[in-house]
């Protein structure tokens, strides 16, 4: 068999010095590569040097073949070293995890307060609640971006449990290894943990109780206690206040344990942006280089006015749907593709029932045409009330 070249010889020698044995696993090789000690020895990870699943034999004289390592004495490899115990994966997150700054983001609402808490690196959990699509998650991630703080986001569901959050055993390269969960990752890194849609969680989320107190957590499966590094904090977002959804708008949300909620010192109630802020957001989206749309100030202003009237009607009980900031952004993005205002609005409101969509489109047509729509809110609200009264009296108009 031919001798290895100088680079390959150096890689073999480095691996042998690192692990002190002739057989190494794929994960050990990858860890050494990720640490920047050697370039990836892809030549080694093939069937020629493979001795079992995920395990490779270093080509050392006295083992299988050359080159000879004169500076490192050959040591006898321990029997069953690779599979005798579970290895520990310290971290699956490599490099910087600070969120990127979004060029279309406009600071508003409680952004400064959230940024102040995030920048302080103090442990001070926050519960952020508000209707869908009003920028709760973006406000948190952009506060981290502005403060240059790492952020680990976890999207919570009814299925989320202790194994998903704290970690568990995983199969990697034929070995059983312990993998830290996102909560433990955030604690060790001193990062911000963002629990998104926390009100979708079941009582399995109670495993976070000691963590929300600022204390460490005992990982009973590996008999290890983890203390949070400085800077670790928790922010949770939700569409409700943890009391469920009576109107059915947020199906799947649950009533959260009172003891769990009490561990959040403050709750931020986030509303939709003001008209001025929302208009600026849409203009920023239109100016984004990723889009091909021209900046249309009148279109942005009309959309914001349209959404504002619909929201006021929603709060008064006149309609069952509303237009979120996120949906306005979707409309602007659709406009950049289709070059038609009405088509963009129609395609982005198709998710509503026919009557609601028709009513919304009719309202925008009036706004775009410069008509007076100041009475639209009252007309819609009165119409809903009259319809309800007629139904209760047994007189239904067809």
CA dihedral 381, 386, 387, 391 (to 10 degrees): 140
Which neighbouring-strand residues pair with 129?
Answer: 238, 269
pLDDT at 95 over 60: yes
pLDDT at 330 over 80: yes
Q: Averaged over 312-334, what is the pLDDT?
A: 93
Question: Which residues are within 8 A (CB) of 210 and not within 5 positions of it... i.e. 6 or more apart?
Answer: 216, 217
Predicted confidence at residue 88, as pLDDT, reads: 57
Give exposure, 36-64, as e/b (b: 16+ Cβ within 10 Å).
eebeebeebeeeebeeeebbbbbbbeebe
Q: What is the DSSP string of 169-195?
A: EEEETTEEEEEE-HHHHHHHHTPEEEE
Q: Averaged over 234-238, what is the pLDDT?
A: 97
Predicted confidence at residue 292, as pLDDT, reads: 64
Dihedral sign for Cα atoms in the order 139, 140, 141, 146 = positive
> Which residue in 247, 244, 248, 250 sits closest to 131, CA to CA?
250
Residue predicted with more confidence, 133 or 244: 133
Distance CA 60, CA 121 (A): 50
What band does 3 get if pLDDT is binned at 50, 70 and 90? low
Q: Averaged over 14-28, what is the pLDDT?
A: 83
What band does 379 get if pLDDT is binned at 50, 70 and 90? low
Give, in order, the Cα–Cα distances in Å from 143 to each of 129, 132, 155, 280, 392.
17, 19, 18, 19, 50
Question: How do 167-172 and 175-180 pair as beta strands?
Answer: antiparallel
Question: Which residues are within 8 A (CB) of 164 and not within 5 positions of it... i.e. 6 or more apart?
Answer: 154, 181
Residue 229 DSSP code: P
Q: Averaged over 229-236, what is the pLDDT?
A: 96
Predicted confidence at residue 105, as pLDDT, reads: 94
Predicted confidence at residue 76, as pLDDT, reads: 44
Q: What does the pLDDT look like over 253-286, one tens digit per residue? A: 888 999 999 999 999 999 999 999 999 999 999 9
pLDDT at 149 over 60: yes
pLDDT at 62 over 80: no
What band does 99 get if pLDDT is binned at 50, 70 and 90? very high
pLDDT at 387 over 70: no
pLDDT at 68 over 50: no
Distance CA 279, CA 241 (A): 28
Residue 206 DSSP code: G
Q: Averaged over 326-338, what is the pLDDT?
A: 94
What band does 46 get if pLDDT is binned at 50, 70 and 90? confident
What band does 390 get if pLDDT is binned at 50, 70 and 90? very low
Predicted confidence at residue 9, as pLDDT, reads: 84
Give exposure, 313-344, as e/b (b: 16+ Cβ within 10 Å).
bbeeebbebbbbbebbbbbbbbbbeeeebeeb
Distance CA 188, CA 179 (A): 13
| Percentage of the chain exceeding pLDDT 70 | 83
| Percentage of the chain exceeding pLDDT 90 | 56
Query: Is residue 355 classed exposed, middle or buried when 0-12, 13-18 and 19+ CB atoms within 10 A define those classes?
Result: exposed
Predicted confidence at residue 61, as pLDDT, reads: 60
pLDDT at 214 over 70: yes
Q: Averaged over 68-89, what is the pLDDT?
A: 45
Q: Averaged over 100-124, what is the pLDDT?
A: 95
Distance CA 348, CA 383 (A): 25
Residue 208 DSSP code: G
pLDDT at 126 over 60: yes
Q: Averaged over 23-37, what is the pLDDT?
A: 84
Average pLDDT, the chain: 84
Predicted confidence at residue 60, as pLDDT, reads: 75
């Amino acid at each position: 068999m031919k001798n290895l070249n100088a680079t390959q010889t150096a890689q073999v020698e480095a691996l042998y010095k690192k692990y002190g044995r002739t057989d190494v696993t794929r994960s050990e090789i990858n860890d050494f590569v990720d640490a920047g000690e050697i370039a990836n020895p892809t030549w080694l990870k093939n069937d020629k040097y493979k001795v079992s699943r995920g395990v490779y034999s270093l080509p050392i004289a006295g083992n299988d073949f050359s080159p000879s390592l004169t500076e490192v004495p050959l040591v006898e490899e321990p029997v069953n070293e690779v599979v005798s115990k579970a290895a520990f994966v310290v971290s699956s997150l490599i490099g910087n995890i600070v969120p990127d700054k979004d060029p279309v983001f406009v600071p508003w609402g409680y952004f400064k307060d959230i940024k102040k808490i995030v920048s302080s690196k103090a442990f001070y959990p926050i519960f952020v609640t508000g209707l869908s699509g009003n920028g709760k998650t973006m406000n948190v991630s952009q506060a981290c971006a502005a403060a240059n703080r790492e952020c680990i986001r976890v999207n919570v569901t009814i299925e989320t449990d202790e194994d998903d959050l704290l970690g568990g055993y995983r199969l990697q390269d034929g070995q059983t290894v312990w993998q830290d969960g996102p909560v433990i990752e955030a604690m060790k890194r001193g990062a911000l943990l963002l629990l998104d849609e926390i009100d979708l969680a079941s009582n399995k989320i109670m495993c976070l109780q000691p963590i929300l107190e600022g204390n460490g957590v005992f990982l009973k499966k590996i008999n290890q206690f983890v203390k949070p590094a400085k800077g670790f904090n928790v922010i949770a977002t939700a569409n409700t206040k943890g009391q469920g959804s009576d109107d059915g708008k947020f199906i799947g949300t649950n009533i959260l344990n009172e003891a769990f909620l009490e561990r959040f010192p403050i709750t931020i109630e986030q509303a939709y942006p003001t008209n001025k802020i929302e208009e600026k957001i849409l203009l920023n989206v239109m100016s984004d280089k990723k889009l091909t749309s021209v900046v249309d100030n009148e279109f942005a202003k009309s959309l914001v006015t349209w959404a504002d009237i619909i929201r006021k009607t929603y709060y008064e009980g006149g309609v069952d749907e509303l237009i979120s900031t996120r949906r306005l952004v979707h409309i602007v993005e659709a406009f950049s593709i289709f070059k038609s205002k009405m088509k963009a609005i129609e395609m982005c409101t198709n998710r509503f029932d026919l009557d609601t969509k028709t009513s919304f489109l009719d309202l925008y047509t009036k706004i775009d045409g410069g008509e007076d729509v100041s009475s639209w809110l009252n007309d819609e609200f009165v119409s809903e009330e009259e319809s309800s009264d007629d139904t209760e009296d047994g007189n239904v108009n067809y």
